[in-house]
Structure 1
């Protein structure tokens, strides 16, 4: 996918109105042109209760605005991201909900998934970032197979939105 402009990013959101939600999206100035990292998406939110995800789907960018409540669980509690299958302690994984696109979203329907709170799935997969514990499970899959699995999980989530 080509580098995205701020206008491309704002226009990609399928679950926001042009006047309301798209205008309030805070795009990261330092990463706006480099969203694709090893073929995986990423665009973290600018507010503590919101994250934004932009990914290539059928050759065009698709954006989803998600809300989440930061987890406040015990020290021993661990959760797994449903995209990259990375486990995190405490608040490293959050249930993120996105309004569905179109009429379903206007009626208040939403979809949720447990995702890395920082949306750094591609960095965890490639070992560029480690979870707070410093551990990631060893897998028999190659990096390319892990990326393909993560993209399949991502596209399944986007299809639900």
Structure 2
């Protein structure tokens, strides 16, 4: 992933309301390992159910605001994130919804997906031991993750 600046992030959101942008917390960019990310994802410490995801699409950053559902999946079962396809305990996957861009979103039109609760998909695709996760596997998982995120984001951006 190409590095992002605070200005890149603040101007990238396609489905944010003005009040959300005014309160947008920026994560520690100086600590980010950009070459180990497909997107920048973080949860809002002041609004527990809100999260943000920014990725590069067509050489520009595109951000989306997501909201976690109030409940979680039943403990004791397995679940899979629809972005990184990492199987994990159900309590670590959450249904997130995102308002569509423009008037549709202002009218309450949303889409949803089950995503890692901490929005940490880029780290999860790299966590297996090296002998089980060689660079070629990571590259394949990275491409797939980015394709699924871009499809979700493109769906949010549809105006009709």
TM-score w.r.t. length of structure 2? 0.82
Distance 2:11 2:151 in 1: 21
Do the aligned partners of 1:4 and 1:34 also contact (CA within 8 Å) in 2?
no
Distance 2:101 2:31 in 1: 25
Aligned-residue offset at 1:38: 2.7
**Partner-residue secondary structure (3-state), 1:20:** helix
**Does structure 1 residue 115 correspond to structure 2 residue 115?**
yes
Do the aligned partners of 2:75 and 2:91 also contact (CA within 8 Å) in 1?
no
1:42 paired residue number = 40
**1:95 to 1:37, Cα distance in 2 relative to 1, 3 A:** farther
Alignment equivalent of 1:156, drawn from 146, 151, 156: 151
Aligned-residue offset at 1:22: 1.1
**1:90 to 1:142, Cα distance in 2 relative to 1, 3 A:** closer
Aligned-residue offset at 1:39: 4.4
Moved more, 37-46 or 145-154: 37-46
**Does structure 1 residue 77 correspond to structure 2 residue 72?**
no
**Does structure 1 residue 24 correspond to structure 2 residue 23?**
yes
Alignment equivalent of 2:142, drawn from 147, 153, 158: 147
Q: Which runs of 5+ in 2 are unaligned?
A: none
Report the count of equivalent residues.
151
2:126 paired residue number = 126
Distance 1:16 1:6 in 2: 16
Aligned-residue offset at 1:45: 1.4
**Partner-residue secondary structure (3-state), 2:111:** strand
**Does structure 1 residue 8 correspond to structure 2 residue 8?**
yes
Do the aligned partners of 2:67 and 2:98 also contact (CA within 8 Å) in 1?
yes
Q: Which runs of 5+ in 1 are unaligned?
A: none
Aligned-residue offset at 1:65: 0.7
| RMSD, aligned α-carbons | 2.5
